Structure formats: C-alpha cells, structure tokens
A and B are shown apart, each in its own frame.
Chain A
Amino acid sequence: MLPSAKQRIKTADILLLLLMLFITLLCLLPLVYIISLSLSGKSAAAAGKVTLFPVDFTFYSYKYMLSDHRFFEAFGVSVKRVLLGGAINFVLTILMAFPLAKERSEFKSRNLYIWVIVFTMMFNGGLIPWYMVIKNLHLIDTLWALTLPTAVPIFNVILLMNFFRNLPKEISEAATVDGAGPWRMLLTISVPLAMPAIATVTLFSVVNHWNAFFDGMILMNKQSNIPLQTYIQQLVVQPVISSTTRAEDLINFSQRTFNAAKIVVTMLPILVIYPFLQKYFVSGITLGSVKE
C-alpha cells in the first residue's frame, strides 16, 4: 500500500506511530541505561537510582579508564584485527564471489567449488579438531589466529555472489566483445557496480571481527594479546576488583560504573560507523538474499 501525501491521517495512524515509537525506544533503552550508568556517581549507582538519566553526573569512570593500560592494549589488538581481518575478508570475498557468479556454461568447475564451500559451511569437525589445526600451524598467540581461520566469510561470499548474478548480463557481454579479460571485468565493471553489496558485506565482516570474543579467549594465551571483547567478557564473567586498584579510587568509583564505561567505549565504534553504512545494507542484503 503506497501512502500518498493526500491520504487522510486517522486516529489509527497516530496510534500506530506511537506503538512503533514505543517499540523503537525499547531497542534504545538498554543502551541509554548503560550510558547513564557510566556517567553516574558511585553511590547513586549502588543505590539503583539510575534510570534513563545520569545521577550525580561525573566523568570519573572514563577518567579512571585512562589509567587501565590493559583496556587500551585490548583495544589496540581489536583495531589491528579489524584492519587486517577486514582487509583479508574484503579481498577474498570479492575474489571468490566473482567467478562463482558465472554460469556453469562459462565456468565448468563452478558447481564443484560451490559444493565444497557449502559443505564446509554446514559440516565441520567441531571445536577440538579446529583448535588443534590452529595449534599445529603455530598460530596460537598471533594476530593470524584471529584473522586466518575466518579469512573466507562464506555467508558473505554467497550474498555477494547472488548480487553479481543479478547484474545485467549485457554489460559483461559488451565488455567481452571489447576484449576485457576476467580480471579487467572484475575490477572495472563488477566491483564498481556492486559497491552497495560490497559495502554491506564489508560492514558485516568488520562487525564480526570487532564483536568476536570466543577465538580471542581460546586462541590467545597472553593477556596482552587478547582482543577487546574478550577482555570485556572477562570483566562480565569474573568481575573482581584487581589488586592494583588504589584505595582512594575505590571511594570515587564503583566497579559497576567503571564496567559500564568500558562497555560504552567498546560499543562506540559500531555506533559511529553504523549510520554511514546502514543505508547500504538494506538494499545490499535485500538484493543479495531475495531472488525472484
């Protein structure tokens, strides 16, 4: 039903708007709450006075965080991981999706590749054998352990492949007539045309790298090597005040507001890139996943 500007606004429309507004706010409330908590004073937080606005507004938790070198170490590992892992994902996703989008008549081995890929997506050896392969390759405690096992995001390859397949055939035919080979076709035609889809899958892979905690937990042994989410996970699961905490700090902050501040800083990068990339992903995922 396409709404026209002239359509009369009825009570039902207003009620619907309010209902959707309520649902939308429900999505934001927990985030607003944690931000407020991170900006609240210790006693207000402990007394459970914080709801949607900070009580006894203070930046103390954030100031104190500046002295937590482990947080910044972990932040650095995550940034490196996103850059390296994201770049690997970006290149490999495009390189794999392009030939797989060819018809069988153009590329005979296509179906064989697809079967191998889909098989590995569905069937795997499980946690222990996977861990042992990584250990035997001596990747433990290196950045490669976090970036190579996920080098090919298969779901993204399939999304992009479907997008490439929906591009008009005439363009590639015209380019072939003009003498363009596969590489030239990929770089000068398919990639520029697929920018929305590429932006979408890149967003997905960057977010996955930023959000992953489990591989950091089992593949990294040294504290200085663990990524940010793993560090935050340790805080959530084993919330102990470290022995290095100074007495005067304890008077001013609570572990609760301090953890809230760390959680806020950890989700900040997503909140920052999200508005820029989200306009792409709706069209990207719709075109990639829904086929007529």
Chain B
Amino acid sequence: MNKKSNALQYHLMLAPGMLFIIIFGLVPLFGIAIAFQDFIPVKGISGSKWVGLDNFIYMFQLDDSKRILFNTLYISILKMLMQVIVPVGTALLLHELIFNRAKRWFQTIIYLPHFLSWVILAGILTDMLSEQGIVNKLVKGVFGQPVFFLGSNFWFPIVVVLSDVWKEFGFNAIIFLAALTAINPALYEAAEIDGAGRLRKMWSVTLPGILPTIVLITTLNIGQVLNAGFDQIYNLYNPLVYQSGDIIDTYVYRIGLVQYQFGLATAVGSMKSLVGFILIFVSYRLAAKYANYRIF
C-alpha cells in the first residue's frame, strides 16, 4: 500500500518534465509528415499537397548529397580519431606527472575551452587566422605568403578538426584520467619487480588498463558520426568553403530556413535522424556486449 502511494508521488515528480519532453520532443515527430509534402507554411500540414517520396528521390538525385555525406563522415571520423588519441595521450602524460600542484593547475586550465561557445571561439579563430592575425604573421615570417585558412577548401577541414581537438581534448581527458586512477597499484609494483621501466609500465600496464574505456568511448562515438558539429562549422564557414565544409546539419539549415524548401529540408533531416538513431542503437548494443556498458 505504501509502495503505491510512493509511486504516485514519483509520477507527480516526473509530470512537469515529461510534459516538456512530450511537447518539444515527441510532438515534432509528427512534423516529419512535411517530408512527404510540398509544404507551404500558410496552408499547414493538413492543407499542403502530398507528394509521396518525391522529396526523398530528389534528395538522392541531388549532386550536393554525396558531397555533403562525404564531408560529414570525413570531418566527424577525423574528429573521432583525434578525440581519442589526443585525450588519451594527455591523460597518460598527466598521470605520469609527479608534481601534484602543477597537475591540478594543468587540469583546471585544459578543461576551460570546453566551456566557451563556438561563437566566441569562431570570433577568436577568425581573427587569428585572418591576414593580419597572429597565425598568419608566423606563416608570413616562415613562408613569405599568408594562407587563407578559412577560405581554402584544403585548409578548412583541417582547421575544423584541429580547433575541435583544441576545445575538447582537456574535457575528454577527464574520462580517461578517471579510468587511470582505477588501475590497481599492485600491477605497477609487480611490473617494477619484473624490471619494467617507465615506458614499459605505460605500455604494458597503463594502456591495457584503460583499453576498455577507449573501446567504450569509440563505440559510443559511432552513434554520433552524422553529427560533425553544427555550431562550429556554421560559425566558421562561408560560401568559399561550402565545397569542403558543408555538413548535413548546415545544409538542412540552409535549404530549410534560408531557402524555404521545407519538404526537402525535413526529408534530409529525418533521414539523418533515422540513420543516426540506428547507429546509436547499434553502438549501444556493441558497447553493452564488448565493453559491458549500460546507460541505465
């Protein structure tokens, strides 16, 4: 009897939050209908003409589609690799550091960029990489010529990946650091008795110790592979680099809210959502199977 009244209280606690989740999370799902319409806002979903799969067929015929899919995958896979390698490296270095005060300071500072917005960072980057900026001052000093980093299809993806690493590596290192502290110290002692030096211990004890975490993070990242980072790219790019920088999200924004092709934008968006959903589902299953991870 007590349990029942408790459950009622729990439902009450959840009610306000669930209301918002339903309104802003579930109700928009019905809007996917737009993807099957020649949608005209004033007529609404009920008044607009149904066109079946036309938007989807058009999407696959579009020359842009392949390029955008390629850019999205290319940028996000590069980011994914870098966001494992650099944070793991940083965590290992921090772990080896014997100066505790300095260690704490370093940790505090390397998390900081994570909390700054891409608007701010894009503002800073745009200036640094401009012709008068600090980076080009160096480049000019060495090569004699400035480089237009944000206007070149070669440099743009590189800038995107490197600036993403710069912003997030410290924050991502937390997870690996946490995994490192969980390694049994007895293993190090045993390795020492067997004559292992510092590098050997790092290679044979530390790395295998955090391998499960590395596998877990990588697996979970697979689900995010279609998210190449809207905020970052939207704030950094310009028409000169649409060729190399346009990703699914920026494209949906442009054709939807700038060019008002609502049906097409929703078709592209819902396709992305569907594929992303499947990928996340699969990656969570893999994580549960191989890394013994459950989100709840």
Interface residues of A (CB under 8 A from B): 1-3, 7, 9, 12-13, 16-17, 19-21, 23-24, 26-28, 30-31, 33-34, 37, 45-48, 50-51, 92, 95-96, 98-100, 102, 106-110, 113-114, 116-118, 120, 122-134, 137, 148-149, 151-152, 154, 157-158, 161-162, 181-183, 186, 207, 210-214, 218, 229-230, 232-233, 235-237, 256, 259-260, 263, 266-267, 270-271, 274-275, 278, 282, 285-286, 289-291
Separation of A113 and B27 alpha carbons in the complex (Å): 16
Which of A7, A50, A124 is close to B134, meaning CB atoms less than 8 Å apart? A50
Contact status A125-B16, CB under 8 Å: no
A-B contact pairs, 26 of them (CB 8 A): A1-B201, A12-B198, A17-B97, A23-B106, A30-B121, A51-B137, A95-B14, A95-B17, A120-B21, A122-B276, A123-B274, A124-B273, A125-B269, A128-B269, A129-B28, A133-B23, A148-B20, A151-B24, A152-B21, A158-B295, A207-B115, A259-B127, A263-B120, A263-B123, A263-B124, A267-B116
B112 within 8 A of A: yes
Q: List, in ascending order, chain A residues with CB within 8 A of B31's CB.
A: 125-126, 128-130, 132-133
- How far is A248 from B98 in the complex, measured between Cα atoms in Å? 56
> Across the interface, which residues of B come within 8 angstroms of A148, CB to CB?
20, 23-24
Q: How far is it, in angstroms, between the C-alpha of A148 and the C-alpha of B21 when the chains are bound? A: 10
A7: contacting residue among B32, B98, B116, B174, CB under 8 A: B98
Query: Which residues of B are in contact with A by a Cβ distance under 8 Å?
Result: 3, 5-7, 9-11, 13-14, 16-18, 20-21, 23-32, 34, 41, 90, 93-100, 102-103, 105-113, 115-128, 131-134, 136-137, 166, 170, 174-175, 178-179, 182, 185, 188, 198, 201, 223, 230-231, 234-235, 252-253, 256-257, 262, 265-266, 269-270, 272-274, 276-277, 280-281, 294-296
Contacts of A124 in B (CB 8 A): 25, 28-29, 273
Distance of A182 Cα from B12 Cα, bound (Å): 11
Query: Is B175 within 8 A of A290, CB to CB?
Result: yes
Please classify the interface of chain B as helix (H, G, I), strand (E, B), loop, or mixed, using the class held by over half of its residues: helix
Complex: chain A residue closest to B276, CB-CB: A122
What separation, in Å, do the CA atoms of A260 and B97 have in the docked complex?
36
Nearest-CB distance from B146 to chain A (Å)?
Answer: 10
Chain A residue nearest in CB terms to B260: A128
A108 to B280, CA, bound (A): 26
In angstroms, Cα B202 to Cα A208, docked, is 37
The answer to whether B235 and A233 touch across the interface, beta carbons within 8 angstroms, is yes
A149 to B102, alpha carbons, bound, how many Å?
41
Q: A34-B123, A266-B119 are in contact. List 6 more A-B contacts (CB 8 A).
A: A116-B26, A122-B281, A161-B296, A229-B117, A236-B119, A275-B108
Q: Are A30 and B98 interface neighbours, CB within 8 A? A: no
**Complex Cα distance A2/B231, Å?**
40
Q: Does B132 lie within 8 Å of A17, measured CB to CB? A: no
The answer to whether A33 and B134 have CB atoms under 8 Å apart is: yes
